[in-house]
Amino acid sequence: MDIQKIGVVGAGQMGNGIAHVLAVAGYDVLLNDLDADALEKALATIDKNLERQVSRGKLAEADKAAALSRITTTLDLPELGQTDLVIESATERESVKQAIFETLVPHLEPHTILTSNTSSISITRLASGTDRPEKFMGFHFMNPVPIMQLVELIRGIATDKETYDACLKVVEKLGKTAASAEDFPAFIVNRILMPMINEAVYTLYEGVGNVNSIDQSMKLGANHPMGPLELADFIGLDTCLAIMNVLHDGLADTKYRPCPLLTKYVEAGWLGRKTGRGFYDYRGETPVPTR
């Protein structure tokens, strides 16, 4: 099928990035959120990020204007029913995602493909609550979306080939690379990445090293561009904990047990960059380790 108009649910960090790259690639985008301020903030962020691309010579000024003109916003979720493809990018909580699909399904066109940007939740389970499990799949972008080149495409047990091929075509039009993953907890990237971050938190918890020494060790000793604790703060500690719980519950293996210190930080509301404190304190001019 020929996808032309794409709906994006959620105007947060991931949602606005997804809208950005889709609009640059020539798709008409309908961006939805419950909060009018979030939509306004998302448009401002997209404008700023497009301008950064223009200033670096990666995008022409005319292309920036054209991309912005392709994005419209709505507070009314059922409006997305008129699109060819929906990419849900709401909070990483299964109940929230299920409620979104439940609201949306009665308004969808018969041909509309439903996808989720979930980083860990079962695609098969999400699809089973809709009227089109064969037209449902995982469409997992990496953060920050305009920069990261990978998209994980995850088929549920019922996803048909036509749906997969249509989504693959979108990824290719975006100029990104698709990795095909099976529908098991956390898929590929987070199945490998999150236990590493969790182990770094255990290393901190057990006093093997402090925040600074752990991050420096992985940056200089393993050539990682960002230390695991710094990366956890960037992702959001609540998201890291949610994914570890999905791995632990879904695979029933104690090696995926979330570190108690990670749980403690989340309980404190120290979720990383987005709240100003996590493994680093971001409230001053430069980040300072909190341990």
Q: Closest Cα partner for 15 from 48, 37, 47, 46?
A: 46
Which of 20, 89, 116, 152 is the catalytic position?
152
Q: What is the pLDDT of residue 42?
A: 97
Q: What is the pLDDT of residues 147-175, one digit of tens each?
A: 999 999 999 999 999 999 999 999 999 99
Q: Is 33 known to sit in a ligand binding site?
A: yes
Instruction: Say whether 140 is catalytic.
Output: yes
Percent of the chain with pLDDT over 90: 97
The mean of the pLDDT values for the chain is 97
Q: What is the pLDDT of residues 170-226, one digit of tens each?
A: 999 999 999 999 999 999 999 999 999 999 999 999 999 999 999 999 999 999 999
Q: What domains are defined for the chain?
A: 5-182 (3.40.50.720), 190-289 (1.10.1040.10)
Name the pTM for this structure: 0.91
Q: What is the pLDDT of residue 92?
A: 86
- Is the pLDDT at 1 greater than 80, yes or no? no
- Is the pLDDT at 30 greater than 90, yes or no? yes
Instruction: Say whether 119 is catalytic.
Output: yes
Which of 32, 89, 117, 190 is the catalytic position?
190
Q: What is the pLDDT of residue 247?
A: 95
| 237-253 residues labelled b (16+ CB within 10 A) or e (exposed) | bbbbbbbbbbbbeeeee
Q: Is 14 known to sit in a ligand binding site?
A: yes
Rounded mean pLDDT, 279-290: 97
Which of 119, 120, 122, 198 is the catalytic position?
119
Q: Is 181 known to sit in a ligand binding site?
A: no
Q: What is the pLDDT of residue 275?
A: 96
| Residue 36, CB-side half-sphere exposure with 13 Å CA sphere | 0
Which of 117, 140, 198, 230 is the catalytic position?
140
Q: How far apart are CA 50 and CA 242, in angstroms?
A: 31
Q: What is the pLDDT of residues 114-126, one digit of tens each?
A: 999 999 899 999 9
Instruction: Say whether 32 is catalytic.
Output: no
Rounded mean pLDDT, 62-91: 97
Q: Is 98 known to sit in a ligand binding site?
A: no
Instruction: Say whether 20 is catalytic.
Output: no
Q: What is the pLDDT of residues 239-282, one digit of tens each?
A: 999 999 999 999 999 999 999 999 999 999 999 999 999 999 99
Contact present, 23 and 47 (Cβ < 8 Å): no
